[in-house]
């Protein structure tokens, strides 16, 4: 019984995974050529105005800590796209009963879904060279999202997300 309980707890923890980030960039890019940035003037992030302000504050502080300057004539522009989707629960535990006897068999199985199908948020960051108008770096993050979270929780989650996304920028 302890063994079954341990498996159930492990499956629940696995279904509550954190932020996943995927990166892509142009290997021919010399990232040391970029020192300043700005945002596209017509950027429509898909976030609420308050969440967008929180995200931009966290992004500005992270990039400035890495030595980048926010200017009117930047070396690259940033575009941010966001979308929300409901994550389907793909974990299940099967409980079965079966029996056999003299070439006759039968069985019953019931699937019990684990974890809930919560709301996920995907945020994509595109860095576009201002001179060439070409994408040179992109990161996409997926993480859990609670619509009813308090402002301080939202800000903390966005700060953690930005820290994780930009932990590998610029690429070595």
CATH number at residue 73: 3.30.160.670
Residue bearing the bigger pLDDT, 114 or 86: 86
Given pLDDT bands bounded at 50, 70 and 90, which one contains residue 94? Answer: low
Phi, psi of 98 (to 5 degrees): -155, 165
pLDDT of residue 26: 94
Structure tokens at 105: 């068999």
Does residue 96 fall inside a structural domain?
A: no
Is 60 exceeded by the pLDDT of residue 115?
no
Does residue 153 fall inside a structural domain?
A: yes
Q: How much is the average pLDDT of 10-18? A: 47
Does residue 109 fall inside a structural domain?
A: no
How many domains is the chain partitioned into structurally? 1
Q: How much is the average pLDDT of 138-153? A: 87
Does residue 12 fall inside a structural domain?
A: no
Domain that holds residue 51: 20-85+117-172
Q: How much is the average pLDDT of 57-61? A: 96
Q: How much is the average pLDDT of 9-23? A: 61
Is 50 exceeded by the pLDDT of residue 11?
no
Does residue 106 fall inside a structural domain?
A: no
Does residue 112 fall inside a structural domain?
A: no
Does residue 2 fall inside a structural domain?
A: no
Q: How much is the average pLDDT of 79-99? A: 68
Distance, CA of 120 to CA of 140 (rounded, Å): 13
Please name the residue ranges forming H helices in the chain: 2-15, 49-65, 151-165
Residue at token pair 């079965």: 96
Q: How much is the average pLDDT of 13-31? A: 79
Q: How much is the average pLDDT of 75-95? A: 75
CA 167 to centroid of chain Cα atoms: 13
Does residue 108 fall inside a structural domain?
A: no
pLDDT of residue 100: 58
Structure tokens at 31: 């990232």
Across 60-103, the runs of DSSP E, i.e. the strands, are 69-70, 76-86, 91-101
* Bridge partner list, 36: 69
């Amino acid at each position: 019984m302890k063994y079954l309980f341990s498996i159930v707890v492990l499956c629940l923890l696995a279904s509550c995974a954190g932020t996943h980030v995927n990166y892509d960039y142009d290997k021919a890019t010399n990232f040391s050529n970029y020192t300043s940035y700005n945002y596209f003037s017509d950027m429509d992030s898909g976030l609420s105005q308050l969440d967008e302000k929180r995200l931009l504050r966290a992004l500005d502080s992270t990039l400035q800590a890495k030595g980048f300057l926010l200017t009117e004539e930047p070396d690259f522009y940033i575009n941010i796209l966001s979308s929300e989707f409901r994550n389907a629960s793909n974990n299940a535990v099967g409980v079965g009963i079966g029996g056999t006897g003299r070439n006759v068999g039968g069985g019953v199985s019931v699937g019990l879904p684990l974890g809930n199908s919560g709301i996920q948020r995907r945020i994509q960051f595109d860095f576009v060279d201002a001179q060439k108008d070409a994408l040179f770096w992109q990161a996409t993050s997926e993480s859990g999202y609670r619509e009813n979270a308090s402002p301080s929780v939202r800000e903390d989650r966005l700060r953690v997300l930005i820290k994780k996304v930009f932990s590998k920028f610029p690429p070595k």
